[in-house]
Amino acid sequence: MTDQCHPPFFPECMRVAPALSNPVFPRAPKPRSVLLINPFYPKSPYNSFGKHVLTPAHSLLSLASVTPDNWEARFWDENLLQGAPPVNPLPSVVGITVMITCASRARELSAYYRNLGAKVILGGSHVQSCPDEMTDCCDALVLGNGVRVWREILEDCEKSVLKKRYIGSYREPFREEPAPRRDIISQCDFLTTASLIATRGCHNRCRFCILSTKGLIMPRQVRDAQIVVEEFLSTGEPYGVFIDNNLGSDRKYLRDLCRALKSIGKIWSAAVSIDITDDPELVRAMAEAGCTGVFVGFESIRGANLKEADKKSPHPLDYSRRIRIFHRFGVQVNGSFVFGFDHDDKSVFERTVRWIEKNRLECATYHILTPYPGTPLFDKFDSEGRLLHQNWDLYDSAHAVFRPLLMTTEELEEGYQWSYERTFSLSSIWARRPERISELPGYLAMSLLYKHTNFLWPFVIRRRLTHLVWRPLVELARRRHLRYRKTLSGNEKKIKTTPVMVPPGV
């Protein structure tokens, strides 16, 4: 690393939760009313503030979709900077989704609403991993799939027979679950309200991933492709985000989904594993169906790290060839990288960033290796005495919460910060520009708006201008991609690529 990190722009509204009011006149809870809350969580000043208003919380909108018709459902996301959740009218039931970084805020909200007389239900990934820790701060916990037990919970609330725990199965047919209810949110608050899920589960079970949490059983399932397309169309959005853990886990299904999406003239992005490029024709099919970008968990450019993490992935020596397959079909790549593996020393940051620039990744997302409770990685570090603490507020992948082997915790955090600063610098953005001149204006506009306007994002979010600001760029990207897809469809020549041969032991 050659340049120094500079203190980033970090306003109070992005790091401190809004104050909770003290109602002067106590009110009785409104019967059959539900308030669904996405709690505030501190943002990383090194990343884009805009990423936090990409799509609404899908899990909460899914609960709204199974709320009985004789109940009123409302939605509140504290990260939209509209202040603390409402108390007038006071809901009879409050549902809160809990990630690890907002666990303390969820406790605060729970105590607040329980004190006012509402029943509070907690669910989400942190409840799944630490149920005993969360039991005493709420009226009921939901483990697993909340959609399957939400009606039962509301019925039990009406009958005053609420149990302390409900367990929702992920084994039931995924195709039977209704689409999320989007009429309770405002389109203006998000880049797109078309957050979509077509598949559930992943063929990987990486040791650091929350999908490897003890007790979490999530078989791979799919929704009917035509139902997914109809849901996409019903949003009226030109751009959709598939929030599946890995949309490419079932390649036959993905091919069917692309066939169904091809005719609707929309664009979309999704998370996939890099091995999807084993079939370049499938990548072509994705592009023809409207895929403009993929989020790929490369995790590391060192094979030993992937092996230790139990990640089923092609060898990093073959990553560059595979990235070129995405780029050949006009699909942008946002690469995810994790720092702090046991084979990482302090040279990993510069090596990774230079590699990203060399391969022209349009965007990169960095994480400090974080041992989430309930995962095999947490158990490993705990047994080795390497955990520094269990302050969940700092388990945000931006802080070092364990002792790395080949560097200090300070070096790990400083390297993470430097990597973001370098990647979002003007020189790096230019170094990673696409080779096609036609893609350059859109790439530069998105890159600069994504991070270099962090000082504007609080204003944009608070004034509810997110959709208005992004919509013109999204529409331009959609039209450009529609023109590009015609050239793809006109070139049916089969793509042949030669895999990189990896020497044994590398």
What are the tens digits of pLDDT across the range 307-330? 988 888 899 999 999 999 999 999
Tokens of 186: 């405002």
Residue 111 lies in domain: 12-168
Q: Is residue 176 part of a domain?
A: no
Q: How many domains does the chain have?
A: 2
Q: What is the pLDDT at residue 486?
A: 85
Q: Is residue 184 part of a domain?
A: no
Going by C-alpha positions, the residue among 187, 170, 225 that lies closest to residue 61 is: 187
**What CATH number corresponds to the domain at position 206?**
3.80.30.20
Indicate whether 358 and 450 sit together in one domain.
Answer: yes
Q: Are 77 and 41 in contact (CB under 8 A)?
A: no
Indicate whether 156 and 231 sit together in one domain.
Answer: no
Q: Are 394 and 401 in contact (CB under 8 A)?
A: yes
Cis peptide before 89 (omega within 30 of 0): yes
Indicate whether 340 and 398 sit together in one domain.
Answer: yes
pTM for the structure as a whole: 0.92
Q: Is residue 250 part of a domain?
A: yes
Q: Is residue 203 part of a domain?
A: yes
Q: Is residue 7 part of a domain?
A: no
- What integer best gives the mean pLDDT of the chain? 91
Indicate whether 472 and 391 sit together in one domain.
Answer: yes
Q: What is the pLDDT at residue 489?
A: 67
Give the Cα-Cα-Cα angle 431, 322, 331 (nearest 5 degrees). 65
Indicate whether 273 and 160 sit together in one domain.
Answer: no
Q: What is the pLDDT at residue 450?
A: 79
Q: What is the pLDDT at residue 5?
A: 62
Indicate whether 200 and 147 sit together in one domain.
Answer: no
Q: Is residue 181 part of a domain?
A: no
Q: What is the pLDDT at residue 26?
A: 66
Q: Is 463 left (phi over 0), alpha (psi -120 to 50) or beta?
A: alpha
Going by C-alpha positions, the residue among 80, 133, 102, 109 that lies closest to residue 20 is: 109
Indicate whether 296 and 416 sit together in one domain.
Answer: yes
- Distance between CA 277 and CA 290 in Å, rounded? 17
Q: Is residue 495 part of a domain?
A: no
Q: How would you label 204-237 residue by residue, b for 16+ Cβ within 10 Å and e otherwise?
A: bebbbbbebbeebebeebbbebeebbebbeebeb
Q: Which of the 8 DSSP states describes residue 444?
A: H
Q: Which residues contact 396 (CB under 8 A, 6 or more apart)?
A: 41, 42, 44, 100, 101, 370
Indicate whether 305 and 433 sit together in one domain.
Answer: yes
Indicate whether 222 and 96 sit together in one domain.
Answer: no
> Which residue ranges of the chain lie beneath pLDDT 50?
500-506
Q: Is residue 500 part of a domain?
A: no
- Distance between CA 101 and CA 382 in Å, rounded? 19
- Distance between CA 312 and CA 136 in Å, rounded? 39
Indicate whether 300 and 426 sit together in one domain.
Answer: yes
Indicate whether 387 and 431 sit together in one domain.
Answer: yes
**What CATH number corresponds to the domain at position 164?**
3.40.50.2300
Indicate whether 402 and 447 sit together in one domain.
Answer: yes
- Distance between CA 375 and CA 126 in Å, rounded? 12
